[in-house]
Amino acid sequence: MEWPASLDEYEKLVIRMNTPRVVIDNAVCATATLVKVDSATKHGILLEAVQVLTDLNLSIKKAYISADGRWFMDVFHVTDQYGHKLTDESVISIIEQSLGTSHSVRSNSFKGLTALELTGVDRPGLLSEVFAVLSDLQCSVVEAKVWTHNGRNASLIYVKDYDSGSQIEDSHKINRIEGRLRNVLKGDNDIRSAKTAVSMAETHTERRLHQMMFADRDYERNSKMGHTASSPAITVQNWAKRGYSIVNVQCKDRPKLLFDIVCTITDMDYVVFHGTIVTEGHGAYLEFYIRHTDGTPISSEAERQRVIQCLQAAIERRASEGVRLELCTMDRQGLLSEVTRTFRENGLNVTRAEISTTREMTLNVFYVTDMAGHPVDPKIIEAVRQRIGLSNLKVKELPSIYKEEARDETAAGVGGAMLLSLGSLVRRNLYNLGLIKSYS
């Protein structure tokens, strides 16, 4: 490494110590690539590492996390989205460069776009109304993600001016957009909590959605929406002797699960000191030893319950139920408004959406239910496809992890045993690091 002449030896040492060391190993494990990260500790560095891997659509099958307050070491067992080890040298290079600098690989994705942040009460047809307003105001939607959870809606929509093809900077137009969208979000029932914001700053879309829904208190479960058999099982208890709070999570495995959990733990101002993540089949078992950023554990029953609620919400937000529809077609002004209006007119409610435009093509993913949140009649889906275009709108099967029936008692017992066994795994790691005298 070439050093500027102005740096003395101490400054060079500081730079070396604070630059993460990344090792990628394909020889140790037969089924996954090991990604090892060593670095000086700072708040949020675990999230940065997980975020880099998640943005590359990699699956984290196992992970071991350990920190002593000044230094942390993370080991991730990762595969590509097809379950294969990483062999593409360009992907490996991106991991090394991104983790070595702790920068997301997607940090420059939305330059030159205007970001619209929307939160409020969810209702059937809301997305159709939002896209209709944007079309009417000559805004082209380039990228967007929409999440719904516990009756709340959070949307992050990236737009540009249709006429100029560039970022919207006219303050009068921005005020009109905000005002119109706020009126849509308010509807008749959300006069106080509906919020809109316009941002020119770059942000990580999914982390920002988590922050928006957390700020909107979507974790406060609606009394009409009780726990289901597929709800994540979460426990939080204190290990007084060592001053940790121990968080155990057992749930269905899915893409980006670890990111969602670590994102919420970080944004609640907790630090993960040790952790073990294990996936088996469609199940995921995670254990974290956490403290507040000031070094103290969870101090009250109310705080413990809030952590459980917030982690449940973080896991559930992305796991929207419904039929997955994919729209792939030439992009044009007003397309999203027309498609979502067709959904609404046929009694379909959008529970989650991802909009992506590349050059002149658009790929849109919608998860839909009927207006009551129940499965959609296949005849209605076919009628909608006929109107939009059979070759443009296709039905995609949901991932099997969302369609499994509830575990029977035997499976639940095995899962519980695995959940409890994670404690011994983490204690063994602590013992090997010399941080405790015994793990028995």
Does one domain contain both 189 and 260?
Answer: no
- Digit-by-digit pLDDT tens for the chain (440 residues) are 454 555 566 554 555 556 788 999 999 999 999 999 998 888 888 999 999 999 999 999 999 999 876 888 999 999 999 999 999 999 999 999 888 765 554 445 677 899 999 999 999 999 999 999 999 999 999 999 999 999 999 999 999 998 888 889 889 999 999 999 999 998 776 666 788 999 877 789 999 999 999 999 999 976 555 555 578 999 999 998 999 999 999 999 999 999 999 999 999 999 999 999 999 988 999 999 999 999 999 999 999 999 999 999 999 998 767 899 999 999 999 999 999 999 999 999 999 999 999 878 999 999 999 999 899 999 999 999 999 999 999 998 654 434 444 344 334 444 444 444 455 555 555 554 444 555 44
Q: Report if residue 378 sits inside a domain.
A: yes
CATH of the domain at 262: 3.30.70.260
- Is residue 1, in this structure, part of any structural domain at all? no
User: 405 — alpha (psi -120 to 50), left (phi > 0) or beta?
Assistant: beta
pLDDT for the residue 98: 87
Looking at the fold, whether 282 and 339 belong to one and the same domain comes out as no
Domain-embedded: residue 437: no
* SS3 (DSSP) at 206: helix
pLDDT digits (tens, 9 = 90+) for 341-358: 999 999 999 999 999 998
Tell me, what's the pLDDT at 67?
Answer: 87
Residue 304 has a CB neighbour count (10 Å cut-off) of: 18
Any domain includes 3: no
Q: What is the pairing mode between strands 139-149 and 152-161? A: antiparallel
- Is position 40 within any domain? yes
Same domain for 155 and 68: no
Same domain flag for 130 and 241: no
* Count of beta carbons in the 10 Å neighbourhood of residue 315: 21
**Are 278 and 346 part of one and the same domain?**
no
Residue 315 and residue 422 in one domain:
yes
Q: Tell me which residue range forms the domain holding 281.
A: 233-319+407-432
Please report the pLDDT score of residue 329 as a whole number: 94
**pLDDT reported for residue 109:** 62
Do 139 and 192 share a domain, yes or no?
yes
What CA–CA distance (Å, rounded) separates 80 from 281?
16
Q: Are residues 341 and 205 in the same domain?
A: yes
Same domain, 339 and 390: yes
Q: Do 26 and 160 belong together in one domain?
A: no
Do 124 and 152 lie in one domain? The reply is yes
- Which tokens hold the place of 146? 């929409």
Domain count along the chain: 3
Residue 418 lies in a domain: yes
Round to whole Å and give the CA distance between 114 and 426: 44
Do 350 and 146 contact (CB within 8 A), yes or no? yes
Report pLDDT digits (tens) over 218-271: 999 765 555 555 789 999 999 989 999 999 999 999 999 999 999 999 999 999
Report if residue 224 sits inside a domain. Answer: no
Structure confidence at residue 425 (pLDDT): 55
Determine the Cα–Cα distance for residues 293 and 212; give it in Å rounded to an integer.
21
Helix (H, G, I), strand (E, B) or coil at 311: helix
**Whether residue 291 sits in one domain with residue 262:** yes
* Domain end residue (candidates: 43, 68, 101): 101
- Is 439 domain-assigned? no
Residue 183: left if φ>0, alpha if ψ -120 to 50, beta else—which one? Answer: alpha
- In terms of residues, how long is the chain? 440
Q: Cα(440)–Cα(434) distance, rounded to whole angstroms? A: 14
Query: How distant is the alpha carbon of residue 113 from its chain centre?
Result: 21
